[in-house]
Structure 1
Amino acid sequence: MIIIISIIVGIVLKGWIDGKFSTIQTLKTYILEYGMFGPIVLTILQMMQVILPVLPGFFGCIVGASIYGATNGFWINYIGISLGSIFAFLLARKYGVALVKKMISIEKYERFVQWIQSKKSYTWVLFLSILLPLAPDDFLCYFSGLCSMSFKKFTWIIVLAKPWCILFYCLFFAYFI
């Protein structure tokens, strides 16, 4: 397991240090450098961009759709982003508020806490936020790990709500960009 984590961290750090995440074109070139392992690298990057937001998630959707087509790009992105979302939830559950406060500014953290506490049904808010594009999904995954939501409920929300936004991005970017 430590070897796998080291490889993942190495891939992400190499790309980040080399400036491969700054534009869609540099990310696309970076993924293509890995040849037949490109889909695995993109899946890892999409997973990691949820855990450590080093690039916007839609960059990966654009790159996946443009290189691998709408269908394969969708699955690569969906698997990576969903795994990253689940890991973010579990990390917050294990390491608590201290970790989440390190991931985002204290102002943003307090704003999210107030916003979440003002909602009557956080489950529906989370479902709709995950479903719709441009919501702060990554942060909501961390915050969900802090609240009393069960892992099973969170996972079902990711499984049922997450594919639609990713599918939209992949279809749009595969056929219109």
Structure 2
Amino acid sequence: MKNNKFLPALFLVLTTIFVAAFFYFDRANTLSLVIMNLGWPGTIIATLLMALLCMTPLPSEGLLLMFMKVYGVLPGILLSWAGLNISTLVIFVIARRYGQGWVKKILTAERFTLINDWIERKGTPGLFAVRLLPVPALAVNFAAGVIPSINFWPYFWTAAVSIFPYYLGTSLMFMGIANQSWYWLLIGGVSILIIGVIGYVLKKRSYA
């Protein structure tokens, strides 16, 4: 994974194209109605799809936008949140089972050291703060999962809560797209940018 530096960028571009195509062809809600008609099996598939995506380094905002388009803002967020929590649980089990040696094959030494230092110095508040850093949730989950001092509950609730600022920013952007309003789109984009800046500042302070 360390050697395939361009794969995440490639997948990000492909994901962006796919999401844009979905919104374009679903202008009359034709695709949304087909998915909605699947009923509960469709929602279960959607939740598991989000869980799988959250177990990769790729951002999940694109799929979240699609969920909002199909199911509505609040149901879309809840489905995404359920998928995130499933992936958080699965990663914890994998990290505890296979240990630090296997995790270090996935994460770079610098990224693992950054996360580990934050958590060791600041405990649960540090774990919550590091989840706001510009670091993929996958990396934080794996790193936190192998640290013996981190129990399951702090590991789980920090992941479940820290994602909501991103959900808020994404939902505002969706409102801008759905209503063709630059106002909401700008507010959503600025919100996500502010979160990123806060994470960047925290990351810089961690090296100070």
> TM over 0.5: same fold?
yes
Q: TM-score, normalised by structure 2?
A: 0.61
Which residue is 2:147 aligned to?
A: 147
Give the CA deviation at 1:134.
4.7
Which residue is 2:88 aligned to?
A: 85
CA distance in 2, matches of 1:41, 1:21: 21
Q: Deviations over 1:120-139 (max 9, x none)?
A: 21532321243x48542111
Q: TM-score, normalised by structure 1?
A: 0.70
CA distance in 2, matches of 1:26, 1:64: 14
CA distance in 1, matches of 2:69, 2:175: 9
Give the CA deviation at 1:152.
1.6
User: Structure 1 residues 113, 134: closer, same or farther in 2, change over 3 A?
Assistant: closer
Which residue is 2:168 aligned to?
A: 167
Give the CA deviation at 1:59.
1.4
- Answer 1 or 2: higher relative contact order, Cα 8 Å, separation at least 6: 1
**What RMSD, in angstroms, separates the aligned Cα atoms of the two structures?**
2.9
Which residue is 1:116 aligned to?
A: 115
User: Structure 1 residues 133, 115: closer, same or farther in 2, change over 3 A?
Assistant: closer
Give the CA deviation at 1:49.
1.4
Deviates more, 1:78-87 or 1:110-119: 110-119
Query: Which consecutive residues of structure 2, in runs of 5 or more, have no partner in the other structure?
Result: 1-10, 26-30, 178-208
Give the CA deviation at 1:89.
1.7
Deviates more, 1:112-121 or 1:75-84: 112-121
What amino acid sits opposite 1:112 in the alignment? Answer: R
Give the match's secondary structure for 1:121.
helix
Structure number with larger C-alpha Rg: 2
Q: How does 1:53-132 map to 2 (within 5 A)?
A: 53=57, 55-104=58-107, 108=108, 110-119=109-118, 120-130=121-131, 132=132
CA distance in 2, matches of 1:22, 1:98: 36
**Displaced runs of 4+ in structure 1, greater than 3 A?**
19-22, 25-29, 31-35, 101-104, 132-135
Equivalent pairs counted in the alignment come to 152
CA distance in 2, matches of 1:43, 1:21: 20
Give the CA deviation at 1:140.
0.2
CA distance in 1, matches of 2:71, 2:133: 21
CA distance in 2, matches of 1:27, 1:87: 29
Which residue is 1:41 aligned to?
A: 45
Give the match's secondary structure for 1:116.
helix
Residues 82, 162 of structure 1: 8 Å contact kept: no
Query: Which consecutive residues of structure 1, in runs of 5 or more, have no partner in the other structure?
Result: 1-15
Give the CA deviation at 1:81.
0.9
User: Structure 1 residues 86, 43: closer, same or farther in 2, change over 3 A?
Assistant: same
User: Structure 1 residues 103, 113: closer, same or farther in 2, change over 3 A?
Assistant: closer
